[in-house]
Amino acid sequence: MKNPFFFLFFCLPLVLAYAQEVEVGVESQDVYLNEPFVFQIRVSAEEEVTAPAMPPLPGFTVVPQPPQRQHSSQLSIINGRRTQTTTVTTTFNYLLTPQKLGTLTIPSVSVNVLGSVKRTQPIPINVRQAEKIDGIALQLQPSTRECYVGEPVMLTWRWYIDRQIYQFAFNLPVLTLPDFSFPEYLPEIDPRRQRQYQRIANHQNAELIAIQSNTRLKGKAVTVLTFEKPFIPLKPGTWSLPESTVLCEIEDTRAGRAPSRRRSPFDDFDSFFGGSRTSTRKISVSAAPVTITVKALPTENQPDNFSGIVGDCSISATAEPLEVNVGDPIILTITLRGPRFLDHLKLPPLETLPGLAGQFKISNEEPGQVQNGTKVFQRTLRANHHEISEIPSLEIPFFNSQKGTYDFARSAPIPIKVEQIRQVTLQDAQGSALTANDSPVSRELQISDIGIAYNYDAAAILSARNHDPRLWLAAPSTRSLLIVPPGIWLLATLASAWLRRRNANPGIWAARKAGSQCRKRLQKVKADSPDALDQIFDILQDYLTARFQLKPGVVTYADLSNLLQTKKITLDICLPFKEIFAACEASRFAGASSQSAKEVRTAALAAVQKLERVL
């Protein structure tokens, strides 16, 4: 849907209604099972309109998309009279996914256009079953099939492929279940295997990174893409995770068969794997549904201040400073280790922990920060009296899912020294002491025998001074004193600002140097080396990743073309990379390429130089 040809493709089945005030359309009326498509309602009126109330759509899952609005004005002059008309076009998009085979119907939708109700026409949708073949399989495996509420579970998908793949997209409805939480997760990227990572396109727009490797399936060598996503169950029960599917295209090698796939706006772009386009057919691959049992946390022996931490954990605590006066702030840092995916975890109120209540004043709760696999919390303590000698051991309750019992994580006590504060009285400020009867002690004035001293030196011995400011400013030492320190301060400020700007986004500096570094590396590639094309491909991947500040992973021709389109750069700048990637992929998958490494290297140097001139 990010393709620039999407609008033209969308308009093919467009249905007009009611004097152009309301238009409806679908991306296609012929779709495959579990293949999402766009249903669109477009309303033109003098003012913005509200979203229509969608009726039940049996056989479809519906995901509303953000509306789009466009304002336009038209000025007309008739018989010298100026008239200006303003039109607001509001487009409501819905992503529909068919769940049943056969002919389904999108029913009529009522749209309120400034008080006038318009009804759209029903649209029939033909849902077909995509072809299934051997040699391509999808598996879904959870890390466990039985867990407790709040216990993270890792879902792992494995996609086995024994041939060239063109367009593909996953549909993972499990990622939309409301009774599960899905923490952010990306695998650790091994720079040595950067070329083996792939971004997984999916209709849920989840950030998924797969690792590519080789294995065997039913005795046959295949490629497998493996990607993961954790989830945390929020409610107990037995849950059947919905079927995961992937729709993809493969080469149609059946003799005498015309291509059976529908034309789409993606035909002019490469996929993650595909090189040149050829006759293809669409197939569907599904992973069997998985059932998971989620057990409720036991209420027996559950601590009163249990905050929901599930999984074996440990804590440690530090304090700063360790020597204070009564009422001075002490920064207590608590580090929680053990459970995975710590974003949702929180500590119980410290006021409920033994030894702290009544001894310290405690600041309000704060959410904590995840750092290197731990979660760090900071609270401020203030001692109530000077007899406190330590911050006692903290006991944090958690549920040990392996043992099925509640336990406590304990930190070591922290010795501190608290001094008592002496109050300053008015008498202390006046320098007087009090007797037992609280009466001031009288002090006699001392009389000096010397009297008042005066200056015995004659005025003549005082040397004459010239206090003309112009002579003082003309002195070199004065100029240095006035110019050098501000100059040093200005240079330090500029250098600090430059360093902050550079460190704020180091990717910008890497992007500026990416072109020159890429050309130098390409010139060093030996054309007669057996892996020369692999080296050229890796160098171009490093260049594009650094130049556009992308996350690690393979940048395909489709990715590059989309990036350049967003920058308003013409397609002819991108086309050379299509042939270069195709030659490299042919060498990688087929073992040979129609172009020599020297030719590919020359083309790559020219393509990079051409791209750098327009960026």
Question: Which domains, ranges and CATH numbers included, belong to the chain?
Answer: 6-128 (2.60.40), 137-295 (2.60.40), 314-419 (2.60.40.740), 506-614 (1.20.120)
Least-confidence region, from 9-13, 220-224, 236-240, 292-296: 9-13
- Distances in whole angstroms, Cα of residue 502 to Cα of each of 98, 104, 506, 550, 572: 49, 56, 6, 18, 33
For the whole model, what pTM was predicted?
A: 0.54
Q: What is the pLDDT of residue 236?
A: 94
Query: Rounded to whole angstroms, how far apart are CA atoms 138 and 213?
Result: 15
CA nearest neighbour of 323 among 418, 405, 406, 235: 418
Question: What's the distance, Cα to Cα, between the start and end of the chain in Å?
Answer: 25
Considering the chain, what is the average pLDDT of its residues?
80
Query: 144 or 278, which is more confident?
Result: 144
Q: What is the pLDDT of residues 462-473, one digit of tens each?
A: 555 555 666 666
Q: What is the pLDDT of residues 118-131, one digit of tens each?
A: 888 899 999 988 77
Q: What is the pLDDT of residue 103?
A: 92
Does the N-terminal peptide bond of residue 13 adopt cis geometry, omega within 30 degrees of 0?
no
What's the average model confidence in pLDDT over 210-227? 90
Radius of gyration, CA atoms only, the chain: 37
Query: Rounded to whole angstroms, how far apart are CA atoms 98 and 516?
Result: 50
Query: Rounded to whole angstroms, how far apart are CA atoms 141 and 153?
Result: 10
Query: Rounded to whole angstroms, how far apart are CA atoms 39 and 64?
Result: 10
Q: What is the pLDDT of residue 468?
A: 63
Q: Looking at mean pLDDT, say which of 97-101, 238-242, 367-371 comes out highest.
A: 238-242
pLDDT at 18 exceeding the cut of 50: no
Confidence category of residue 292, pLDDT binned at 50, 70, 90? very high
Query: 578 or 335, which is more confident?
Result: 335
Q: What is the pLDDT of residues 494-504, one digit of tens each?
A: 887 777 766 66
Q: What is the pLDDT of residue 558?
A: 78
Written as six digits, the tokens of 171 are 């549909």
Query: 544 or 84, which is more confident?
Result: 544
Query: Rounded to whole angstroms, how far apart are CA atoms 575 and 236?
Result: 54
As a three-state string, the secondary structure of 21-88 is: CEEEEECCCEEECCCCEEEEEEEEECCCCCCCCCCCCCCEEEEECCCEEEEEEEEEEECCEEEEEEEE
Q: Give per-residue burial for 269-280: e unless 16+ CB within 10 Å, then b.
A: bbbbbbbeeeeb
Query: 9 or 119, which is more confident?
Result: 119
Q: What is the pLDDT of residues 369-424, one digit of tens each?
A: 888 889 999 999 999 888 899 999 998 999 998 888 999 999 999 999 999 876 66
Q: Which residues sit opposite 146 in a β-bridge?
A: 293
pLDDT at 355 exceeding the cut of 90: no
